[in-house]
Amino acid sequence: MSEAVIETRGLGHTYKGGHTALDGVDLALGKGLFGLLGPNGAGKSTLMRIICTLLPPSRGTATVFGHDVTSECREVRALLGYLPQEFGAWRQHRVEEVLDTLARLSGLSDKKHRHERVAETLELVGLDSVADRKVKKLSGGMVRRLGVAQALVHEPPVLVVDEPTVGLDPEERMRFRQMMGRLGRDRTILLSTHIVANLGGGCQAMALLDRGEVVFEGPPDDLLRRAVGHVFEIEVSAEAADRVEAEYEVVSRNATPQGVAMRGVTASGLPEGAAAVESPTLEEAYLAFMASRGRSEAARQEEDAPS
């Protein structure tokens, strides 16, 4: 019997029209916060919708606590809370009202118990002080937190959260990251993002999806170790800086009294005069990994651009 909370085997999905968004995905998730990284179009939302029983897979299987997402979707739904990428409706309603309605849909039929859970959940996500406010008067971060609240209200052991931080300011992003770390202590959370820094320290396991395939799975530390030797720092004159930027993927660029200090990633050798960074950030490690696959940021953007 497998220990995994969520498990996929040979999971694949081809949309009508023939585009294969997922291809042979094998993943196993235990307790805690699991980060799903990947560029735009990698297949993250497709994978999440399949796990949440909203999209039937074309091939392979996915299970939640051993229940199959296709043949046992009722059991799976009871175990899951889902925050979709585009959560944000209900603008004319008050926060508490929205949560109460969604709690009823999630099966909390007993009124007294439901009211208690609504109050507890609003407090948990820090929205208790705005319970009477209309959704349209909330900040972007508050709307995302309301999204988390509706996913949590029936106390599911598994939370699936898709790109939670799009459009949030840095402070709200940090708050969100901390909340996910906290919630991941006694649950399984599958969280997708393409902003690597959003995973934060609470994330112990991750996978990297690229064009529908898992290209890395393991602890963030493994990705960091692989990046050593492929992340560099260099200080050069302003003109030389432009040359470095044209040739390498530069992650940061700061003016100094002498010129420009830059950090970047490279799939092969370091630029002349550069020093290897010994402790890269997770974002740098991610970019270095993608570069080693011939997938620079520029190449990915070109691929995304409408032809």
Ligand X SMILES: Nc1ncnc2c1ncn2[C@@H]1O[C@H](COP(=O)(O)OP(=O)(O)OP(=O)(O)O)[C@@H](O)[C@H]1O
Residue ranges binding ligand X (CB under 6 A): 15, 17, 19, 21, 38, 40-46, 85, 163, 194
Of 87 and 232, CB closest to ligand X: 87
- What binding mask, one character per residue, do residues 67-106 give for Mg ion by CB under 5 A, x or -? ------------------x---------------------
Residue 301 beta carbon to ligand X: minimum distance, rounded to whole angstroms: 12
Q: Which of ligand X, Mg ion, none has residue 43 at its interface (CB below 5 to 8 Å by kind)?
A: ligand X
Q: Which of Mg ion, ligand X, none has residue 21 at its interface (CB below 5 to 8 Å by kind)?
A: ligand X
Residue 290 beta carbon to ligand X: minimum distance, rounded to whole angstroms: 14
CA distance 37 to 196: 7
Of 40 and 256, CB closest to ligand X: 40
CA distance 254 to 162: 32
3-class DSSP assignment, residue 58: coil
CA distance 290 to 299: 10
- What binding mask, one character per residue, do residues 43-62 give for Mg ion by CB under 5 A, x or -? -xx-----------------
Structure token pair of residue 57: 């897979």
Of 36 and 274, CB closest to ligand X: 36
**Binding residues with Mg ion: total (CB under 5 A):** 3
**Any long-range contacts for 140-143 (C-beta under 8 Å, 24+ apart)?**
140/167, 140/168, 140/169, 140/172, 141/168, 141/169, 141/171, 141/172, 141/173, 141/175, 141/176, 143/87, 143/88
Q: Provide the β-strand partners of residue 34.
A: 190, 205
Of 191 and 265, CB closest to Mg ion: 191
Helix axis angle, 140-152 to 95-105, nearest 10°: 30
Going by C-alpha positions, the residue among 40, 38, 46, 37 that lies closest to residue 8 is 46
Residue 45 beta carbon to Mg ion: minimum distance, rounded to whole angstroms: 3
Ramachandran area for residue 210 (φ above 0: left; ψ -120 to 50: alpha; else beta):
beta
Of 118 and 168, CB closest to Mg ion: 168
Of 15 and 113, CB closest to ligand X: 15
Residue 194 beta carbon to ligand X: minimum distance, rounded to whole angstroms: 5
Q: Which of ligand X, Mg ion, none has residue 96 at its interface (CB below 5 to 8 Å by kind)?
A: none
Residue 176 beta carbon to Mg ion: minimum distance, rounded to whole angstroms: 17
Q: How many of the other CB atoms lie within 10 Å of CB of 225?
A: 13
Of 44 and 187, CB closest to Mg ion: 44
Residue 278 beta carbon to ligand X: minimum distance, rounded to whole angstroms: 31
Q: What is the DSSP letter of 271?
A: P
